[in-house]
Amino acid sequence: MTIRAVLFDSGHTLAHPVGGRWFPYPGFFDIASKHGHEVKDGPKLKSAHKKVMEYLTENHHVQTLEDEKAQQVDAHKILFDELGIEPSDDLLDELAHEAVHAMNMELYDDTRPVLEKLHERGLPIGVITDARPSVEERYRQLGVRDLIHVFVVSSQHGFIKPDPRLFRPAVEGLGMPPTNILFVDDSPDIVEAAMGLGFKSVLMMRDGVNGKHRHLRKIGALAELFDLL
Protein backbone atom coordinates (compact mmCIF):
# COMPACT_ATOMS: atom_id res chain seq x y z
CA MET A 1 0.00 0.00 0.00
CA THR A 2 1.19 3.53 -0.79
CA ILE A 3 1.97 5.78 2.18
CA ARG A 4 -0.16 8.91 1.88
CA ALA A 5 0.11 10.35 5.44
CA VAL A 6 2.39 10.22 8.48
CA LEU A 7 1.21 9.94 12.09
CA PHE A 8 3.71 10.82 14.82
CA ASP A 9 4.01 10.31 18.53
CA SER A 10 5.14 13.48 20.33
CA GLY A 11 7.50 12.97 23.27
CA HIS A 12 10.94 11.59 22.34
CA THR A 13 9.83 11.42 18.72
CA LEU A 14 9.19 15.04 17.69
CA ALA A 15 10.05 16.80 20.95
CA HIS A 16 11.93 16.26 24.18
CA PRO A 17 11.64 17.78 27.67
CA VAL A 18 13.57 20.89 28.61
CA GLY A 19 16.31 19.79 30.98
CA GLY A 20 16.05 16.16 29.93
CA ARG A 21 12.99 15.08 31.93
CA TRP A 22 9.33 15.98 32.15
CA PHE A 23 9.35 16.39 35.95
CA PRO A 24 10.41 18.43 37.82
CA TYR A 25 9.37 20.88 35.13
CA PRO A 26 11.03 24.27 34.60
CA GLY A 27 10.32 26.65 37.45
CA PHE A 28 9.10 24.07 39.98
CA PHE A 29 11.90 24.48 42.51
CA ASP A 30 12.09 28.26 42.17
CA ILE A 31 8.35 28.67 42.68
CA ALA A 32 8.34 26.39 45.72
CA SER A 33 11.32 28.30 47.16
CA LYS A 34 9.66 31.65 46.58
CA HIS A 35 6.78 30.42 48.74
CA GLY A 36 9.14 29.30 51.51
CA HIS A 37 9.55 25.61 50.71
CA GLU A 38 12.99 24.26 49.79
CA VAL A 39 12.04 21.09 47.93
CA LYS A 40 15.01 18.85 47.22
CA ASP A 41 15.39 16.70 44.14
CA GLY A 42 15.88 13.08 45.13
CA PRO A 43 14.21 9.81 46.15
CA LYS A 44 11.51 11.45 48.30
CA LEU A 45 10.39 13.74 45.49
CA LYS A 46 10.56 10.85 43.03
CA SER A 47 8.31 8.76 45.27
CA ALA A 48 5.87 11.65 45.67
CA HIS A 49 5.80 12.17 41.92
CA LYS A 50 4.98 8.49 41.45
CA LYS A 51 1.84 9.02 43.56
CA VAL A 52 0.95 12.02 41.43
CA MET A 53 1.34 10.00 38.23
CA GLU A 54 -0.91 7.29 39.63
CA TYR A 55 -3.57 9.93 40.29
CA LEU A 56 -3.19 11.47 36.82
CA THR A 57 -3.36 8.06 35.14
CA GLU A 58 -6.52 7.14 37.00
CA ASN A 59 -8.07 10.53 36.15
CA HIS A 60 -6.95 10.91 32.57
CA HIS A 61 -10.07 12.40 30.95
CA VAL A 62 -9.35 16.16 30.79
CA GLN A 63 -10.91 18.24 28.03
CA THR A 64 -9.77 21.86 28.43
CA LEU A 65 -6.86 23.93 29.71
CA GLU A 66 -9.08 25.07 32.57
CA ASP A 67 -9.81 21.46 33.51
CA GLU A 68 -6.12 20.65 33.24
CA LYS A 69 -5.16 23.49 35.59
CA ALA A 70 -7.77 22.40 38.15
CA GLN A 71 -6.42 18.87 37.96
CA GLN A 72 -2.88 20.14 38.43
CA VAL A 73 -3.95 21.89 41.64
CA ASP A 74 -5.20 18.55 42.97
CA ALA A 75 -2.07 16.77 41.73
CA HIS A 76 0.19 19.21 43.56
CA LYS A 77 -1.83 18.78 46.73
CA ILE A 78 -1.02 15.07 46.55
CA LEU A 79 2.64 15.85 45.85
CA PHE A 80 3.04 18.13 48.85
CA ASP A 81 1.08 15.82 51.10
CA GLU A 82 3.59 13.09 50.29
CA LEU A 83 6.41 15.53 51.06
CA GLY A 84 4.85 16.57 54.38
CA ILE A 85 4.36 20.17 53.23
CA GLU A 86 1.22 22.30 53.71
CA PRO A 87 1.00 24.39 50.53
CA SER A 88 -0.82 27.70 50.29
CA ASP A 89 -3.53 28.24 47.70
CA ASP A 90 -1.28 30.79 45.98
CA LEU A 91 1.53 28.24 45.69
CA LEU A 92 -0.80 25.61 44.27
CA ASP A 93 -2.26 28.07 41.79
CA GLU A 94 1.16 29.25 40.60
CA LEU A 95 2.51 25.73 40.21
CA ALA A 96 -0.60 24.60 38.34
CA HIS A 97 -0.29 27.58 36.01
CA GLU A 98 3.39 26.75 35.43
CA ALA A 99 2.58 23.11 34.72
CA VAL A 100 -0.05 24.02 32.13
CA HIS A 101 1.42 27.10 30.45
CA ALA A 102 5.22 27.09 30.81
CA MET A 103 7.24 25.82 27.86
CA ASN A 104 8.54 22.47 29.09
CA MET A 105 9.58 20.95 25.78
CA GLU A 106 11.61 21.70 22.68
CA LEU A 107 11.69 20.26 19.20
CA TYR A 108 14.49 18.03 18.00
CA ASP A 109 16.64 19.77 15.40
CA ASP A 110 15.24 17.63 12.59
CA THR A 111 11.56 17.97 13.51
CA ARG A 112 10.68 21.26 11.82
CA PRO A 113 12.58 20.55 8.55
CA VAL A 114 11.00 17.12 8.18
CA LEU A 115 7.48 18.36 8.97
CA GLU A 116 7.95 21.16 6.44
CA LYS A 117 9.20 18.75 3.78
CA LEU A 118 6.27 16.38 4.36
CA HIS A 119 3.93 19.36 4.14
CA GLU A 120 5.53 20.50 0.87
CA ARG A 121 5.04 17.01 -0.55
CA GLY A 122 1.34 17.20 0.27
CA LEU A 123 1.41 14.41 2.86
CA PRO A 124 -1.04 15.04 5.70
CA ILE A 125 0.60 14.96 9.13
CA GLY A 126 -0.94 13.79 12.39
CA VAL A 127 0.17 13.72 16.01
CA ILE A 128 -1.20 11.26 18.56
CA THR A 129 0.11 11.74 22.08
CA ASP A 130 -0.51 10.50 25.60
CA ALA A 131 -0.75 13.95 27.09
CA ARG A 132 -3.10 16.71 28.19
CA PRO A 133 -4.60 19.68 26.29
CA SER A 134 -1.66 22.04 26.95
CA VAL A 135 0.61 20.00 24.67
CA GLU A 136 -1.18 21.29 21.58
CA GLU A 137 -0.68 24.88 22.69
CA ARG A 138 3.04 24.22 23.06
CA TYR A 139 3.24 23.01 19.46
CA ARG A 140 1.48 26.24 18.52
CA GLN A 141 4.05 28.28 20.45
CA LEU A 142 6.87 26.33 18.82
CA GLY A 143 5.52 27.35 15.43
CA VAL A 144 4.72 23.95 13.92
CA ARG A 145 1.06 23.39 14.82
CA ASP A 146 -0.05 24.75 11.42
CA LEU A 147 1.90 21.96 9.71
CA ILE A 148 -0.12 19.30 11.55
CA HIS A 149 -3.49 18.34 10.10
CA VAL A 150 -4.88 16.36 13.04
CA PHE A 151 -3.77 16.51 16.67
CA VAL A 152 -5.07 13.76 18.96
CA VAL A 153 -4.51 14.26 22.70
CA SER A 154 -5.27 11.18 24.79
CA SER A 155 -6.80 13.01 27.77
CA GLN A 156 -9.47 14.56 25.57
CA HIS A 157 -10.65 11.09 24.58
CA GLY A 158 -10.07 9.23 27.84
CA PHE A 159 -7.84 6.52 26.32
CA ILE A 160 -4.10 6.06 25.99
CA LYS A 161 -2.08 4.33 23.31
CA PRO A 162 -2.28 1.64 22.11
CA ASP A 163 -6.06 1.61 22.68
CA PRO A 164 -7.59 1.36 19.17
CA ARG A 165 -10.21 3.95 20.18
CA LEU A 166 -7.49 6.60 20.41
CA PHE A 167 -6.22 5.83 16.91
CA ARG A 168 -9.72 6.16 15.43
CA PRO A 169 -9.92 10.01 15.47
CA ALA A 170 -6.45 10.19 13.94
CA VAL A 171 -7.47 7.91 11.10
CA GLU A 172 -10.69 9.85 10.59
CA GLY A 173 -8.87 13.17 10.68
CA LEU A 174 -6.31 12.06 8.11
CA GLY A 175 -9.12 10.74 5.92
CA MET A 176 -7.63 7.41 4.90
CA PRO A 177 -7.25 3.85 6.20
CA PRO A 178 -4.35 2.81 8.46
CA THR A 179 -2.78 0.91 5.56
CA ASN A 180 -2.00 4.27 3.93
CA ILE A 181 -0.53 5.82 7.09
CA LEU A 182 3.04 5.55 8.36
CA PHE A 183 3.07 5.58 12.18
CA VAL A 184 6.18 6.63 14.16
CA ASP A 185 6.61 6.11 17.91
CA ASP A 186 9.46 5.54 20.38
CA SER A 187 7.66 2.72 22.23
CA PRO A 188 8.19 -0.78 20.80
CA ASP A 189 4.94 -2.04 22.33
CA ILE A 190 2.92 0.77 20.78
CA VAL A 191 4.61 0.36 17.39
CA GLU A 192 3.81 -3.34 17.46
CA ALA A 193 0.18 -2.66 18.46
CA ALA A 194 -0.18 -0.13 15.65
CA MET A 195 1.06 -2.73 13.17
CA GLY A 196 -1.75 -4.97 14.39
CA LEU A 197 -4.20 -2.18 13.57
CA GLY A 198 -2.94 -2.05 9.99
CA PHE A 199 -0.49 0.86 10.14
CA LYS A 200 2.90 0.66 8.49
CA SER A 201 4.91 1.39 11.64
CA VAL A 202 8.44 2.36 12.55
CA LEU A 203 10.25 2.59 15.88
CA MET A 204 12.04 5.86 16.61
CA MET A 205 15.32 5.28 18.48
CA ARG A 206 16.73 8.74 19.16
CA ASP A 207 19.60 7.34 21.26
CA GLY A 208 20.81 5.23 18.36
CA VAL A 209 19.51 2.24 16.45
CA ASN A 210 20.66 -1.04 17.98
CA GLY A 211 20.00 -4.74 17.67
CA LYS A 212 16.97 -4.78 19.94
CA HIS A 213 13.45 -5.33 18.58
CA ARG A 214 14.69 -7.00 15.42
CA HIS A 215 11.14 -7.61 14.22
CA LEU A 216 10.48 -3.86 13.96
CA ARG A 217 11.57 -1.33 11.35
CA LYS A 218 13.74 1.27 13.15
CA ILE A 219 15.06 4.75 12.48
CA GLY A 220 17.42 7.02 14.40
CA ALA A 221 16.48 10.30 12.71
CA LEU A 222 13.31 11.62 11.11
CA ALA A 223 14.89 12.16 7.69
CA GLU A 224 15.14 8.36 7.36
CA LEU A 225 11.36 8.32 6.97
CA PHE A 226 11.68 9.48 3.38
CA ASP A 227 13.23 6.13 2.47
CA LEU A 228 9.95 4.52 3.53
CA LEU A 229 7.57 6.75 1.58
What is the residue-averaged pLDDT of the chain?
Answer: 95
pLDDT band at residue 180 using 50, 70 and 90 as cut-offs: very high
Average pLDDT over residues 9-21: 95
Q: What is the CATH number of domain 5-17+105-227?
A: 3.40.50.1000
pTM of the model: 0.93
pLDDT more than 70, % of the chain: 100
**Is residue 55's pLDDT more than 80?**
yes
**According to the model, what pLDDT value does residue 1 have?**
64
Reported as a single tens digit per residue, the pLDDT across 33-47 is: 999 999 999 999 999
**According to the model, what pLDDT value does residue 163 have?**
95
pLDDT band at residue 209 using 50, 70 and 90 as cut-offs: confident
Reported as a single tens digit per residue, the pLDDT across 75-122 is: 999 999 999 999 999 999 999 999 999 999 999 999 999 999 999 999
pLDDT more than 90, % of the chain: 91
Q: Are 18 and 28 in contact (CB under 8 A)?
A: no
**Is residue 229's pLDDT more than 70?**
yes
pLDDT band at residue 157 using 50, 70 and 90 as cut-offs: very high
The full set of domain ranges for the chain reads: 5-17+105-227, 23-101
Reported as a single tens digit per residue, the pLDDT across 121-144 is: 999 999 999 999 999 999 999 999
